[in-house]
């Protein structure tokens, strides 16, 4: 099953990142999926320069149970600070058709590019945090950033 974050990133990022994120970057989200509260942590734990791939560990906690999944992720598939800056600069143009707005979540208050995906019915607040997603709201699902390190 794809995570909400994988889905959102796949939908959002169609171009390669210009600079790599860093080993040790992580983001923790509180996800409400149809009334079930889930905590999800994404962390980059290593990088292989010869393949250009990061090891990403996803830890999901639900009702006291924890599950970990490790995947290899192409560095070019992760949002860089340069890509996030580009999205913010183009936010209110027809290219992205979003709105610059300030959003507050438990991890802090951020400037974000907020936009709606008509196909999925999701609203995404995207900004300068690891993995790019600050807040997500959609039919049957919501997520907010609890903490992060970059």
Segment 40-78, tens digit of pLDDT: 999 999 999 999 999 999 999 999 999 999 999 999 999
Q: Please tell me which residue, 2 or 74, carries the higher pLDDT value.
A: 74
For the chain, what is the domain count? 1
pLDDT at 6 over 70: no
- Count of Cβ atoms closer than 10 Å to residue 117 Cβ: 13
- What range does the domain containing 37 cover? 4-149
Give residue-wise pLDDT tens across range 129-139.
999 999 999 99
Instruction: Write down the pTM of the prediction.
Output: 0.84
In the chain, the N- to C-terminal Cα span, in Å, equals 27
């Amino acid at each position: 099953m794809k995570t909400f974050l994988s889905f959102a990133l796949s939908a959002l990022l169609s171009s390669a990142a210009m600079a790599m994120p860093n080993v040790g970057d992580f983001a923790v989200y509180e996800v409400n999926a149809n009334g079930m509260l889930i905590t999800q942590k994404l962390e980059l734990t290593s990088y292989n320069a010869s393949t250009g791939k990061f090891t990403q560990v996803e830890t999901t906690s639900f009702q006291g149970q924890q599950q970990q999944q490790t995947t290899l992720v192409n560095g070019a598939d992760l949002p860089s600070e340069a890509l996030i800056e580009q999205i913010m600069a183009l936010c209110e143009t027809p290219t992205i058709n979003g709105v610059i707005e300030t959003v507050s979540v438990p991890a802090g208050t951020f400037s974000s590019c907020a936009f709606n995906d008509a196909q999925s019915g999701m609203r995404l607040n995207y900004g300068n945090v690891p993995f790019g997603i600050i807040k997500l709201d959609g039919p049957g699902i919501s997520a907010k950033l609890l903490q992060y390190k970059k």
